[in-house]
């Protein structure tokens, strides 16, 4: 009696995930990339900065510390609510909540990371061409 044995070569999870993500591209992602690049071009022209990579580096340099400041303010607000710190300097309104500060911190860091990857991608394309 013959036995048929099928063996599958294991792949790392990162390789499978990366190929799956790279294979799926939607129109919405492409539109958002064009919008993002056009927004950066408009901001660069407004401030007189020609290369987009330079503008992305400037924005990253400003966004990363601002994300850290927003995180510190969120932690301060949590500590003030728990009675571990002094009174928070914003007593009422939208920015008196710790959730807003931490969400703002996460959003700014995600934008900074996106700009870093976009700058690396455009630099790679410009070197190839």
HEC string for the chain: CCCCCCCCCCCCHHHHHHHHHHHCCCHHHHHHHHHHHHHHHHHHHHHCCCCHHHHHHHHHHHHHHHHHHHHHHHHHHHHHHHCCCCCCCCCCCHHHCHHHHHHHHHHHHHHHHHHHHHHHHHHHHHHHC
Model pLDDT, residue 70: 96
Model pLDDT, residue 94: 92
Model pLDDT, residue 20: 47
Q: What is the reported pTM?
A: 0.59
Query: 24 or 60, which is more confident?
Result: 60
Average pLDDT across the chain, whole number: 77
Residue 42 pLDDT grade (very low, low, confident, very high; cuts 50, 70, 90): confident
**pLDDT higher than threshold 60 for residue 58:** yes
**pLDDT higher than threshold 90 for residue 24:** no
- pLDDT per residue as tens digits for the range 63-84: 999 999 999 999 999 999 999 9
């Amino acid at each position: 009696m013959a036995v048929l044995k099928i063996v599958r070569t294991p792949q790392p999870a990162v390789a499978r995930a990366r190929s799956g993500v790279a294979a799926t591209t939607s129109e919405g992602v492409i539109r958002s990339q064009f919008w993002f690049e056009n927004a950066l071009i408009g901001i660069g022209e407004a401030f007189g900065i020609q290369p987009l990579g330079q503008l992305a580096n400037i924005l990253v340099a400003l966004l990363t510390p601002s994300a850290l400041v927003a995180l510190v303010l969120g932690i301060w607000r949590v500590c003030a609510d728990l009675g571990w710190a002094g009174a928070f300097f914003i007593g009422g309104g939208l920015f008196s909540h710790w959730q807003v500060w931490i969400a703002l911190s996460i959003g700014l860091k995600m934008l900074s990371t996106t700009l870093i990857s976009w700058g690396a991608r455009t630099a790679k394309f410009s070197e190839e061409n």
